[in-house]
Chain A
Amino acid sequence: MQIPAPFEYVRASSVDNALALLDRHGPESRVVAGGHSLLPMMKLRLARPDWLIDINDLFELDYLLVDTVPNNGRVLRIGAMTRHTTLLESDDIKRLFPIVIDAERVIADPIVRNRGTIGGSLCQADPAEDLSTVCHVLEGVAVVRGPAGERMLSMAEFHRGPYETAVAQNELLIEVRVPIRDDSGSAYEKVERRIGDWAVAAAGASVTLAADGTISHVAVGLTAVGLDRNVTEVEAVLVGQAPTEQLFVEAGRLTSLACDPLADQRGPVDYKRHLADELTRRVLRAACRRAAASISDITI
């Protein structure tokens, strides 16, 4: 069996303690949460930290709460140590952000989801990682704490590219804040070779409807197709319009043009572009349907 190279292990007792440990042990130290991204890399000896700082005791970061915060209004605050299973089983999430449920159902498998955390997923920043897209689409804010205090980063600021985030070596992602919008719906759909596999491609969308049934706010994001930002190209087309199949088709077309996938064992470029198109249409349809369902007098 594959075995990691030797390292020293220390368990952090609090966020401050974790930050102090990161500071003390320097660049060759790594934080481990669920460990389901890092430990396999260590077993392959592609990652060889000298120090592993275990933050599983930071129960202070395992929470989900609806809150009102200055400048953000009503938000759902998700502690970085919240496990995937907790997200999947949360009634608040089910009600507010069905996109998270859609995504969580297809992230790895139920047992991995018992260990894996939202913070770990976002910090790994794998281009095929589903929650990154979800947080982009929901326009989440990453709360990062370091020796100099806390900073708030938009997902675009947080997520710098494949496997790269703005979290410095001596910082910790501690929370994701997701703004709560009324009259909204969201959805995520992924194509995978088999359950539990990384995405061939996936798409997520969040839609807010105005009182007249037109789209007042929309975000579309993609997974595993070479685009680590929201597909801003579609927003101008969709906002202010009544949701129609024709509109979704146009959004899908624009999305497939915006993405930049690579061919691999999961499929050729044109297939992935096609999926960007197809899945965008599907998630917009579902998100609009869900938004409409939250407003009783609008049906589409």
Chain B
Amino acid sequence: MKINAIKLTKNYEGRNLALDNVSFEVSMNGMLAIIGKNGAGKTTLVRILATELLPTSGTAYINDIDVIHNAKDVRELIAVVPQEARAVPWLTPLQTVSSYLMWRGLSYRESRERGKEVLRTLGLENVENEKNRKLSGGMKRKVLVATVISSDAPIIFLDEPTTGLDYISRKELWEILNSMKYNRLIILTTHYLEEAEVLGDKIGILDKGKLLAFGSMDELRRIVKYPFIIKISGDVKINSIDGYIKRLSNGDVQIFSTEREIFKLAQELLEGKIKFTVQEVSLNNIFEFLVEGGVED
């Protein structure tokens, strides 16, 4: 599955640029996570790729089909759960899934059969005939995800599907998303960095409409100046180092630096018999570096 965005720009009338020359190419099965703060342009990007919105300039291709001029063909390939989408309260989960499949062209019987199958896979078979309004927030969100999974669409857009869910429900949804990403491309937007790091095979970082970085976690780590962290318990005197020192509220010290510097420092700490841990920077750290220009206390 392939998406190619070329200089996508969206300028809503009377407002700032929602998207500013965004270009990227992704060709894989798996999960592409787009992260950014509120208003970063995530939803605008998804809506353009999902043929719901026209860009001001630029274009995009899905499996080499132009989303601007051949939207009809693109729509055969994609399925979308928009931001703030809600399961229609007067429908049951089975009715929700099957009617969506009918909009995709399946017959009543086919759509019911496939709907039942997907709801069973997601553990919703016991509530398939309950009204959506009676379900918990997490279950309602699962119903929406079930609608798009049940389609054969090889490319799925999920715009902030876990926003507002409690941690347990979010993790349940992560498991579902993780299990369904192997035979399709899922584009997930989120402002939960942990979610993007856990699920994303590739990650795009958007800020104020600009795509600041794009790639796998390893590729993103190569973008930042200091890709490693050494964490030392307690207050320790650190000689000058090419890096960034962050003192945590519990008294521990985190030093962000290059691989070579971290290795050197680790040797010194070993000699001084000081306890420490070494790890690669997280997406949270990368996001802070790129979006906020550094690591804050």
Are A and B part of the same complex? no
A residues neighboring B (CB under 8 Å) = none
B residues neighboring A (CB under 8 Å) = none
